[in-house]
Structure 1
Amino acid sequence: QEYKAMVWLIEEIQKVTEKPICIDSPNARLLARIIEEGHLHRPGIVNSVNEEGDKCEMIFPLLAETQWEVIGLTCDDQGIPEDPEKKIAIARTIIQKSDFYGVARERLHIDPCVMALAAVPSAMKDFEKVICEIHDFAPEVKITGAISNISYDMPARKYVNICCMAYAIHEGLDSAIMDPLDGDLMSSIYACEALCMKDRGGRKYNKAYRRGKIGTNRREDWKMKI
């Protein structure tokens, strides 16, 4: 059922856009089958591999010498560790395997599996530590993350998410797994990238304002242009 649903959804999406598609499943065999059968018109992103079982060994050989990108989660057969040092160790192993199988580091996105602040008070500091250390030993590798995980079971979650995004961008976050139609979170990204000199002179920030994406000038119709 999952295979049929994924193939159908891929076909429907490709009818209306040429954007790369992220195929997402905990079932590595399913992801491998989708890639091997060539259902996608262009390379996208595989979400995901990790150190559970032989997922890296199954997926990485299929991506070598291609333009496919892949997300690597910092978890293993024991689950998601709270200890940031263990996450960093898992990330190192995934990166080493990507090197071995010929997957360019520039096409690897490590997801440090952000913990919930309500359960792990040091969640933000731990996230920052993992971002910094991975970029120290593998600057070509990109860091991503599901930002809203940190606000789980917290009131007024959007404020926690916005602050998490700001801190993470400052430390080197390259992308985020998030809702791009969340105007408040997108506004914080534009502002943070300008402040951190990722957007020199705030050109993208100003362009977003003029297009009505952020601030009091924000319009709802821009969402249809993504």
Structure 2
Amino acid sequence: MIIIGEKINGAIPSIKEAIGNRDEALIRERVQVQLPAKPDFLDCAPATEPALEYDAMKWLIGIMEEETDTPLCLDSPDPLLLKRLLEEGATQRPGCINSVNEEGTKCETLFPLIAGTDWNVIGLTCDQDGIPLDPEKKIEIAKRIIDKADKFGVALGNLHIDPCVMSLSTVPNSVEDLCTCIRAIHEYAPEVKTTAAISNVSYGMPARKYVNMACMAKALDAGLDSCIIDPASPSMMGILYAHAAVSGEDKGGRKYNRAFRKKIIR
């Protein structure tokens, strides 16, 4: 399982405040708390107003790369900002671009810069009309993104398709729709990875961690390859390690036991 740590995101009030105040100490602490779980990427999402986003992103990159060698997931809805960062070589090592979709020319803007590199990229199943509720429409969008990535020479193994799981409180079939998309994407292009921001499923619900855990278990059964989660959460990491143990991927539960001893799960 590929883990993208989600804790550095300006949509989180404390992170928004830290970015506004240029509070390095809080950002460093939130980076460090994610590292024991050994995430593959760390999200770097200023989520500020557009005029401030570039400077905020550069500030975050500098601090985060001082704290860890873990590659960053540069997270912005603005393809021109992401293009600028790629062209400048703003990071010390290739990471992940979050994200492209079928709205406008995002794929056409970013795929040529990613092709032939070690950069990963997340493709969201939405277009100019927003996120469709029909899973079949999401699958159609996913196929178009995959075809464009292939056309531009992006390594399909570096492409993560995010079917945009919706909140159960608004879309009762949200988790089953996610699983339908995961299976269909793997059938269409087995080398392409699937990903999900799991916590979206529980938005607006009480005791959210239980909903998140159940969604993760179902998605793993469907073949989810990567996830955007809080790697400092014992419950979410516990689901990942437990699923690997009971599915036979982690023979004898050795990794599960090691994670428990290291207090990654408890």
Q: Same fold per TM (> 0.5)?
A: yes
Q: Deviations over 1:48-102 (max 9, x none)?
A: 0000000000000000110000000000000000000000000000000000000
1:149 counterpart residue number? 200
2:210 counterpart residue number? 159
> How far did 1:203 drift?
2.2
1:126 counterpart residue number? 177
Q: Take 1:15 and 1:154, find their aligned partners in 2: how far apart are those partners? A: 37
2:82 maps to 1:5? no
2:107 maps to 1:83? no
What residue identity is the alignment partner of 2:114?
A: L
- Tell me the secondary structure at the aligned position of residue 176 of structure 1: strand
Q: Take 1:148 and 1:109, find their aligned partners in 2: how far apart are those partners? A: 17
What does 1:21-100 align with in structure 2 at a 5 Å threshold? Answer: 21-100=72-151
Q: Take 1:196 and 1:168, find their aligned partners in 2: how far apart are those partners? A: 13
Q: Take 1:207 and 1:36, find their aligned partners in 2: how far apart are those partners? A: 41
Q: Deviations over 1:140-161 (max 9, x none)?
A: 1111101011111111111100
Q: Take 2:149 and 2:251, find their aligned partners in 1: how far apart are those partners? A: 32
What does 1:134-145 align with in structure 2 at a 5 Å threshold? Answer: 134-145=185-196
1:110 counterpart residue number? 161
2:253 maps to 1:202? yes
1:190 counterpart residue number? 241
Aligned structure 1 segments of 4 or more residues deviating by more than 3 angstroms: none
Q: Take 2:98 and 2:84, find their aligned partners in 1: how far apart are those partners? A: 14
1:15 counterpart residue number? 66
What residue identity is the alignment partner of 1:113?
A: C
Q: Take 2:259 and 2:56, find their aligned partners in 1: how far apart are those partners? A: 36
Instruction: Provide the alpha-carbon RMSD of the alignment.
Output: 1.0
What residue identity is the alignment partner of 2:183?
A: C
Gaps of 5+ in 1: 216-226
Q: Take 2:188 and 2:103, find their aligned partners in 1: how far apart are those partners? A: 23
Q: Which has the higher contact order (CA 8 A, sep 6+)?
A: 2
Q: Take 1:180 and 1:50, find their aligned partners in 2: how far apart are those partners? A: 26
Q: Take 2:53 and 2:206, find their aligned partners in 1: how far apart are those partners? A: 34
> How far did 1:201 drift?
2.9
State the number of aligned residues. Answer: 215
Q: Take 2:53 and 2:145, find their aligned partners in 1: how far apart are those partners? A: 26
Identify which range, 44-53 or 190-199, moves more after superposition: 190-199
8 Å CA contact 2:232, 2:264 repeated in 1: no
- Tell me the secondary structure at the aligned position of residue 22 of structure 1: strand
What residue identity is the alignment partner of 2:116?
A: E
What residue identity is the alignment partner of 1:53?
A: G
Picking from 145, 149, 171, the partner of 2:222 is 171
> How far did 1:199 drift?
2.3
8 Å CA contact 2:122, 2:159 repeated in 1: yes
> How far did 1:136 drift?
1.1
What residue identity is the alignment partner of 1:13?
A: M
Q: Take 2:101 and 2:126, find their aligned partners in 1: how far apart are those partners? A: 6
- Give the TM-score, by structure 1 length: 0.93
> How far did 1:210 drift?
2.3
Percent identity, aligned pairs only?
A: 57
Gaps of 5+ in 2: 1-51
